[in-house]
Copies of this chain bind each other. A is one copy, B any other.
Amino acid sequence: MGSTFGHLFRITTFGESHGGGVGVVIDGCPPQLEISRDEIQFELDRRRPGQSKITTPRKEADQCEILSGMFEGKTLGTPIAIMVRNKDPRPQDYEEMRLKYRPSHADATYDAKYGIRNWQGGGRSSARETIGRVAAGAIAKKILHQVAGVEIVAYVKRIQNLEGAIDPETVTLDQVEANIVRCPDVECADRMIELIDQARRDQNSLGGVVECVARHVPPGLGEPVFDKLEADLAKGIMSLPATKGFEIGSGFAGTVLTGKEHNDAFCLDDQGTMRTATNRSGGIQGGISNGESIILRAAFKPTATIGQAQQTVTTTGEATVLAAKGRHDPCVLPRAVPMVEAMVALVLCDHLLRNQGQCTVLMP
């Protein structure tokens, strides 16, 4: 039952890359939220394939249909089901994968676990599955913004060794969307695009780092001890395809500092509000948001599917060589940006509701 995420604001995704379609059921959504199909489609358009020369050429408009849970433009409080049909499947492109396991892909492990596999495309391990997450994330974002003015912005921080200079406190969605690689450092973005395009021409692929900031998150979100906010964020991020690492605040770099250097001293701002002088904690202390910006990073490996020939083994246990056909992203990061935002929004929204449930009921 690993297709469900969240405790109060809970989503269940379904669907394979080849088959009737993919989608999501969102259960526990607060009632009376005004949200349109267009607002959801906006986020889906950010993740859809074929949006630029550095993404997969698969042609999918990914138009969503809202099946339930909405009435006259508002949420009903009952499950919201959203579906996207698969429009451009090409099972024939995958005929070879029927018998040959793609290295570092999910083919072999799905066979090991289930004894069966939809070899047409990535099946359930396809990034198409994230359509449901992104659709649900659009709703979570709107709730967070409406309740507390939360702003969630992710962007490509690094492609291979090209790292952009971005200020998480000020970066905007418009800056992110201003170029096809979604790196708000414009100069760096141009070089990233060229690098990815070169990888595409080489039938190779690249990885990198997506950074995400959530600003104006109210203090008090997150539940010790297992459902610490960073723990649930880590799970959400690491459940995305191709992720290999997660950092909150200072991350691995913080481990070379001393406690004296690393600690975020408390201070008072102009309004006399308690703040932290620095934010190495990344907006979370003791598993609970402290009101500072939540800043996290996700490591994405280079796309496993590449056109170059690779050593592999057949389903019947013979050594062979595979040169993938199919259509794939030379670098997943540009399209991963809305996925990261969605997962962050889903975690924060769930904890917003959980905190409301436990910690406000006895208040006067």
Contact = CB atoms under 8 A, between A and B. Distances in A.
Contacts of A13: 79, 225
B287 A125 contact: yes
Given A113-B77, A260-B308, A235 B231 contact: yes
Interface in A93-142: 101, 103-110, 112-118, 123-125, 129
Contact of A14 (B25, B125, B236): B25
A82 to B, nearest CB: 10
A223 interface: yes
Contacts of A83: 67, 83
Given A3-B225, A199-B258, A312-B266, A30 B362 contact: yes
Q: What 4 A-B pairs come out closest when comparing CB atoms?
A: A106-B286, A357-B357, A2-B223, A2-B227
Interface string A20-35: 1111010111111100
A328 to B, nearest CB: 10
Contact of A110 (B3, B252, B286, B360): B286
Nearest to A272: B317
Contacts of A226: 2-5, 235-236, 239
A317 B285 contact: no
Interface residues of A, number: 164
A80 to B, nearest CB: 8
A55 interface: no
Interface string A247-277: 1111110111111111111111000101011
B115 A32 contact: yes
A196 to B, nearest CB: 11
A65 interface: yes
A69 interface: yes
A3 B33 contact: no
B27 A2 contact: yes
A16 interface: yes
